[in-house]
Amino acid sequence: MPQVKIVARNFMDMVASLPVMKLDMLYDNSFICEAILRSLPPLAKKYVLQMLYIDIPITAKSMEEWVLPDGFSKHKVAIDRLIQLRVMTETFDRKKEATYQLNPKFQFNLQKHIIHGGILPREPMPSNITVRLPSLEELEAYAVEQWECFLLNLISSSEGGKTTNISSSMMKIFQRGLLSQRDDREPPRLTESGFQFLLMDTIAQLWYIIREYITNAEERGVDSADLIAFLLELSFHVTGKAYNTNTITDLQRSIIKDLSDLGLVKLQQGRKESWFIPTKLATNLSISLADTTSRKQGFIVIETNFRLYAYSTSKLHCEILRLFARVEYQLPNLIVGAINKESLYKAFQNGITSEQIVSFLQQNAHPRVAERIPSVPENVTDQIRLWESDLNRVEMTPAHFYDEFPSKDVFEAACDFAREYGGLLWEDSKRMRLVVKADILTEMKEFLRRQKQ
């Protein structure tokens, strides 16, 4: 069974991975300091605010007194996060006792931002210049439509279909890990990571794509710190407001075009001016995974007889369900299917795990069943896990079979030799037979040759 596990890191994990000099440069911007503060775990936020006007180092023992004994594990997580992001620095005195102090640049700019407020890099355009702007409901529908279009392009690429309205920058991300192609004559195929990606939560998918986009941009010579700074700036723009594209650089205009493919912004053109409108996907970029409590409404009902009903008009939902279920028919607003052994075996062979399938069904449970405990029948989740364990029951190992040993001593010596090399798989002392891993074939041949001499 495949053991690939795709990881969608928090956006701030990408910030933490920046070199020290680039990370310190980011803290020149007070809005980025606030974005970092937003992303921190609750206890880490508390520490930053407590230390904001303290200019001397604080000992580790003193900080441990700020929490109750049962909160020590959360205290350690908070300290580690602050050090990773260089919000706080750790030093050791002569007695090797740790002391902590806020990053001076971060501390100064956050103080300034809290006292005086901040001026955004750009102001929204006046309403008399822009055409009728979309409502928040229309903007959210646009973001969902663009994101689903993006994912459908991923699926259609793997099936030899034509992709539409997707920039080359985004297509390169498809090719990185999610799709593989042996040669130009064959259409790209979804990798194990690609199948797993489709079952991930939207926020996790977005973080994965943004991380790959930043990596791809670095290879094109774009400074990752500048790119991350602009993405964090976007999170402070107002959802639904229009911002003039003349207020951004050529590089940022190129980024905005790519982000519009994902549904993070909507581009509009007037008679003389053009502008971009951030959606919730853009303004939520700096929040932490723990804060993503608002989930989209579910649509799946699954019964104890493994019948599946998906109340959805989305083509994407139908294609995702095909990854692990047998879709029997589709009505305008209803997809009917079933989960069976064959459909799940196909999913497992493509690298999807039982836990990912169960998690997807639970996260997307219809509101009528989401309140039940459990939202997915236990016999269904147990059977999904059992069918996966069936595939893991037998493990194939290349091996060689040996018999007809001249004596018991030679046989036992061969067993000991194979065991010493970690290659002994099976032995039958009575009939003097053994099976040895193919990895040590050369060593085994040489040993038996020496025994004959």
What is the model's pLDDT at position 7? 46
Does the structure show a pLDDT above 60 at 6? no
What is the model's pLDDT at position 83? 93
> Confidence band (pLDDT; 50, 70, 90) for 178?
confident
The type of residue at 267 is L
Task: Please give the Cα distance from 20 to 85 (Å, whole number).
Answer: 9
What is the model's pLDDT at position 271? 80
The type of residue at 172 is K
Task: Please give the Cα distance from 267 to 250 (Å, whole number).
Answer: 15
Q: In whole angstroms, how far apart are CA 251 and each of 221, 222, 247? A: 11, 9, 12
pLDDT tens profile 282-300? 887 766 544 544 456 789 9
> Confidence band (pLDDT; 50, 70, 90) for 443?
confident
Q: What is the pTM of this model?
A: 0.71
Q: Is the peptide bond before 374 cis (omega within 30 degrees of 0)?
A: yes
Does the structure show a pLDDT above 80 at 187? no
Instruction: Sort strands 179-180 and 243-244 into parallel, antiparallel or unpaired.
Output: unpaired
Q: Report the pLDDT averaged over residues 11-36.
A: 83
Which contacts qualify for 443-448: CB closer than 8 Å, 24 or more apart? 443/417, 444/400, 444/402, 444/414, 444/417, 444/418, 447/414, 447/417, 448/402, 448/410, 448/414
Q: Report the pLDDT averaged over residues 268-273.
A: 85
Task: Please give the Cα distance from 159 to 155 (Å, whole number).
Answer: 7
- Yes or no: say if 170 and 152 are a contact pair by the CB < 8 Å rule: no
What is the model's pLDDT at position 88? 94
SS3 451: helix
Task: Please give the Cα distance from 3 to 174 (Å, whole number).
Answer: 21
pLDDT tens profile 207-239? 888 888 888 887 878 888 888 888 888 888 889
> Confidence band (pLDDT; 50, 70, 90) for 2?
very low
Three-state secondary structure readout of 79-100 = HHHHHHCCCEEEEECCCCCEEE
| Residue 217 CB neighbours (<10 A) | 21
End-to-end CA distance of the chain: 43
Token pair, residue 7, equals 């990881």
What is the model's pLDDT at position 160? 52
Residues constituting the chain: 453
> Confidence band (pLDDT; 50, 70, 90) for 175?
low
- Yes or no: say if 240 and 184 are a contact pair by the CB < 8 Å rule: no
- Yes or no: say if 82 and 44 are a contact pair by the CB < 8 Å rule: yes
Q: Report the pLDDT averaged over residues 338-354.
A: 92
> Confidence band (pLDDT; 50, 70, 90) for 390?
confident
State which of 11-20, 32-41, 329-338 shows the largest mean pLDDT. 329-338
DSSP code, position 415: H
pLDDT tens profile 25-43? 889 888 888 888 988 889 9
> Confidence band (pLDDT; 50, 70, 90) for 184?
low
Q: In whole angstroms, how far apart are CA 291 and each of 6, 114, 203, 257? A: 21, 22, 11, 28
In sequence order, the 6+-apart residues with CB closer than 8 A to the CB of 108 are none
How many CA atoms lie less than 13 Å away from 266 in the CB half-sphere?
22
pLDDT tens profile 48-84? 999 999 999 999 999 999 998 888 889 998 999 899 8
Q: Which residue(s) pair with 92 in the sheet? A: 98
Q: Pick from 134, 169, 161, 173: which is nearest to 315 by CA?
A: 161
Q: Report the pLDDT averaged over residues 170-182.
A: 71
Share of the chain above pLDDT 70, in %: 89
What is the model's pLDDT at position 152? 87
What is the model's pLDDT at position 162? 52
Share of the chain above pLDDT 90, in %: 39
State which of 1-5, 172-176, 217-221, 236-240 shows the largest mean pLDDT. 236-240
In sequence order, the 6+-apart residues with CB closer than 8 A to the CB of 297 are 367
What is the model's pLDDT at position 164? 55
What is the model's pLDDT at position 137? 93
What is the model's pLDDT at position 289? 43
What is the model's pLDDT at position 168? 63
Does the structure show a pLDDT above 60 at 8? no
What is the model's pLDDT at position 401? 93
Task: Please give the Cα distance from 392 to 398 (Å, whole number).
Answer: 17
